[in-house]
A and B are shown apart, each in its own frame.
Chain A
Amino acid sequence: MFEKVLQLFLNGLMAGAVLAVPAIGLTMIYAVLRFVNFAVAAHMAVGAFAGYMLNVWLGVPAPLAILGAFIGAGAVGIASDHVGLRRLRGQSALTLAIASIAVNIMIESTIRFFFGGSPRDYAIPLRRDWVIGAFKIGPQQFENVVIAVAAMAILFLFLAFTITGKAMRAVADNPMLADSKGIDPDRMSRLAIGIGMGLAGIGGMLVGLDTSIDPLVGFRAILSVFAAAVVGGLGSIPGAVVGGLAIGLAEELSLLALPATYKSAVGFLAIVIILTLRPQGLLGAKAGA
């Protein structure tokens, strides 16, 4: 039993680390623009397919193609925001969230138009699991965690040590004050969307490297991604990491007590519990604080 729990724990940690990447994207966009952009799901698919084109069509190694997933999803994110959501700024968060669902469907449909709906696979070798004592770790899972951690570390360094990163945090903390200091909020918004959707793209490709990709690769993950962001505290980047790990662990460990068919319910349950007990999330700031 102990071995089983530990194996589920390991699987949960690894799934959670991958989940945390798009969750950071979602929460980052929320921090700057103050609405939940559900188009993160479609941008996960954009990243997955951008990486696919580089990896399968052009022969770029998968770890390098991930950079393409980031750039591709980031660029589409900025473009889709410019075309579909920018004019709605100033409307309620609910209006923007609904509009983002529409954008999400349009992007997924576009991918389906060009690539079809069948699952596709990256040009990477399928490798056996590493067996360490009673535990198993997939080499691809492990590499995904390394890539996810590297992406998160780069983001933290960017936000902590660069002028642009600090400006973005300033806009997230207090947009009016940041504006009075000469920080261009439009530029910061674009940057937040570009980086946020780029991270979603990385997340989509990481999921695909371990499984397969199709236009709904992000759609299937969005509930867990959203739950991770809410549990961690919407707007809190460290919170998204904690939330991602928490949801990953909760979904896997739930298998000890629940049939696998209820896995999706764990995300909903986590959202309900957190919103009831700690509405600002684990690491989120209280409204008005």
Chain B
Amino acid sequence: MHKRLITRRSALLTGAGAIAAPFVVTTPGFGQTGPIKLAGLVSLTGSGSPFGPNSRVSHQAVVDQVNAAGGLLGRKLEYLAEDDQTNAEAGVRGARKLIDVDKVQAIMSVWASAVGSAVLPLCWENKVMMLAISAADTIAELPHQGYFVRTQPHTVLQAKQFAKFILAQNAKSAYLIMPQTPFTESVLKTIRADVEPKGVKVTTAVIDNKKNSFRSEIDEMVRANPEIFMMGGYVAENIVMAKDLFRANYKGKVMGFAYGVVPAFIDGAGKEAAEGIYSIADPSPAFDSTAYTKVKALLKKDQLDTFQCQAYDHANLAILSMAKGKDATGTGIRDNIRKISNTDGGTVVDNALDGLKLIAEGKEIKYSGASGPCKFADNGNIIEVAFRTAQVKDGKLVEVKM
């Protein structure tokens, strides 16, 4: 018969286990004390630098507002920001610091797709919620276990806007140049698939954006003399290409991604070189919404870019999701974000303060933000998006009909 003996070793183990048990059992409680930490992994330098600082300001404004009103779930919020340098490697370093050292519960407004793709696995492995801008369609296909939503329409949707524009202009030839990004292939493929069957001849080229000049690439495009040229870079590359287009006296229509044709682009390229260039696939902020008006007042600005609006929405969504689930963790955000954004019922709110009051009263809410309705598919993609097209006229971006 097997006899169970109490040895000195098992007694020690049992004793140690008994001492440790209360700590192990209450481990989740450690995360429920002290300030609730939210982070922005924003592009303060590199290609995304025209937008990152604005995102940071939006996050901080929302956090300050909530703290001034007493915080969330009886705790203060703390906002931290890291610069991803619009660079995957720096982004991963920043995210590691935020997750491992600062113990944040959400990483917000990651802009570049390369950064989003690299950082998302860290988020889901550590149960940190990512509320992103990064648009590469492949990101939503990662096994993120729900720890990902984005307010920026994914790149295939954006590419379809380019295709629509090419067809609307009755162009017979189009030349598409893009830098190498995680979404380059899908964008070029989508445009081709949409316009080539309609008789448009498409030529594509992928450039090396680690270079200062693209003169020969632009020369090659001008020689082909297409009716429409897609200048598919970020702001820095677009400035260089626009100057070369002007020098080469290119007469066709020029279109670029909305994130690459912004006021900083016009300033950098100069009014002459930027004149007439179209900004396509701009996920329009909800200009008529009360949220947009409130963000303008909060940030003391007359006009907001879409990313600043999205950043404002990210902070509000994270806070309200935690409040809804009474769970100040990344998992809390994941499990509750659709309960405050995808619902058809509930009182519509456009800011965290109003939402927190209603949640405290036990009422249902539906968040509708400055960037739009903020409804998310199961894979994290935004569902409803309104695009707008703009054109540079006399040095300013003016909305035009496609």
| Residues of A participating in the B interface, judged by any CB pair closer than 8 Å | 4, 7-8, 11, 15, 112, 116-121, 126-129, 136, 138, 140-141, 207, 210-212, 214-217, 220-221, 223, 252, 255, 259-264
- Docked CA distance A126–B239 (Å): 12
- Docked CA distance A262–B205 (Å): 11
A residues near B239, Cβ cutoff 8 Å: 119, 121, 211-212
In chain B, positions 228-258 with a C-beta closer than 8 Å to chain A are: 235-236, 239-240, 243, 246-249
- Docked CA distance A223–B246 (Å): 28
- Given A117-B49, A211-B240, 15 other A-B contacts at CB below 8 A? A4-B220, A7-B219, A117-B45, A117-B46, A121-B267, A129-B249, A210-B213, A210-B215, A212-B243, A212-B268, A259-B205, A260-B205, A261-B208, A264-B208, A264-B210
- Docked CA distance A129–B247 (Å): 5
Residue of A nearest to B270 (CB): A126
Which of A129, A255, A262 is the one whose CB lies under 8 Å from B217? Answer: A255
Which of B216, B236, B249 is the one whose CB lies under 8 Å from A128? Answer: B249
Q: Are B269 and A121 in contact (CB under 8 A)?
A: yes
Q: Are A260 and B206 in contact (CB under 8 A)?
A: yes
A-B contact pairs, 29 of them (CB 8 A): A112-B45, A118-B50, A119-B235, A119-B239, A119-B264, A121-B268, A121-B269, A126-B247, A128-B246, A128-B248, A140-B247, A207-B213, A210-B213, A211-B212, A211-B213, A211-B240, A212-B236, A212-B239, A215-B45, A216-B46, A259-B206, A260-B205, A260-B207, A260-B216, A260-B217, A261-B207, A262-B208, A263-B207, A264-B211
- Docked CA distance A101–B44 (Å): 21
Q: Are A263 and B248 in contact (CB under 8 A)?
A: no
Q: Are B206 and A118 in contact (CB under 8 A)?
A: no
Q: Are A207 and B267 in contact (CB under 8 A)?
A: no
Residue of B nearest to A138 (CB): B247
* Distance (whole angstroms) from the CB of A10 to the closest CB of chain B: 10
* Distance (whole angstroms) from the CB of A266 to the closest CB of chain B: 10
Residue of A nearest to B243 (CB): A126
B residues near A252, Cβ cutoff 8 Å: 216
Q: Are B269 and A118 in contact (CB under 8 A)?
A: no
* Distance (whole angstroms) from the CB of B93 to the closest CB of chain A: 13
- Docked CA distance A15–B213 (Å): 9
* Distance (whole angstroms) from the CB of A258 to the closest CB of chain B: 10
Q: Are B219 and A126 in contact (CB under 8 A)?
A: no
B residues near A126, Cβ cutoff 8 Å: 243, 246-247, 270, 272-273
Q: Are B247 and A212 in contact (CB under 8 A)?
A: no
- Docked CA distance A117–B264 (Å): 11
B residues near A263, Cβ cutoff 8 Å: 207-208, 211
Q: Are B236 and A255 in contact (CB under 8 A)?
A: no
B residues near A215, Cβ cutoff 8 Å: 45
Q: Are A119 and B208 in contact (CB under 8 A)?
A: no
- Docked CA distance A141–B218 (Å): 15
- Docked CA distance A11–B208 (Å): 16
Count of chain B residues with Cβ under 8 Å from any Cβ of A?
37
B residues near A128, Cβ cutoff 8 Å: 246-249
In chain B, positions 191-234 with a C-beta closer than 8 Å to chain A are: 205-208, 210-217, 219-220, 223
- Docked CA distance A261–B212 (Å): 13
- Docked CA distance A126–B205 (Å): 25
Which 7 pairs show the lowest CB-CB distances between chains A and B?
Answer: A117-B49, A117-B45, A119-B268, A263-B208, A261-B206, A211-B240, A260-B207
Q: Are B219 and A121 in contact (CB under 8 A)?
A: no
* B180 in contact (CB, < 8 A): yes
* Distance (whole angstroms) from the CB of B57 to the closest CB of chain A: 14
Residue of B nearest to A217 (CB): B212
B residues near A216, Cβ cutoff 8 Å: 46
Which of B44, B180, B216, B273 is the one whose CB lies under 8 Å from A8? Answer: B216
Q: Are B49 and A207 in contact (CB under 8 A)?
A: no
* Distance (whole angstroms) from the CB of B218 to the closest CB of chain A: 10
A residues near B206, Cβ cutoff 8 Å: 259-261
**A11-B212 in contact given A112-B45, A119-B268, A260-B205 (Cβ < 8 Å):** no
Q: Are B212 and A221 in contact (CB under 8 A)?
A: yes
Q: Are B243 and A211 in contact (CB under 8 A)?
A: yes
Query: What 0/1 readout, one digit per residue, does chain B (98-117) give for beta carbons within 8 Å of chain A?
Result: 00000000000000000000
Q: Are A118 and B268 in contact (CB under 8 A)?
A: yes
A residues near B247, Cβ cutoff 8 Å: 126-129, 138, 140
- Docked CA distance A260–B233 (Å): 14
- Docked CA distance A264–B211 (Å): 7
For B206, B210, B264, the residue with the greatest tally of chain A CB atoms inside 10 Å of its CB is B210
Residue of A nearest to B264 (CB): A118
- Docked CA distance A140–B236 (Å): 19
- Docked CA distance A11–B264 (Å): 28
Residue of A nearest to B208 (CB): A263
Q: Are B215 and A11 in contact (CB under 8 A)?
A: yes
A residues near B248, Cβ cutoff 8 Å: 128-129, 136
* Distance (whole angstroms) from the CB of A184 to the closest CB of chain B: 38
For B45, B212, B220, B272, the residue with the greatest tally of chain A CB atoms inside 10 Å of its CB is B212
- Docked CA distance A120–B240 (Å): 11
A residues near B205, Cβ cutoff 8 Å: 259-260
- Docked CA distance A128–B246 (Å): 7
- Docked CA distance A216–B212 (Å): 10
Residue of A nearest to B215 (CB): A11
A residues near B217, Cβ cutoff 8 Å: 255, 260
A residues near B246, Cβ cutoff 8 Å: 126, 128
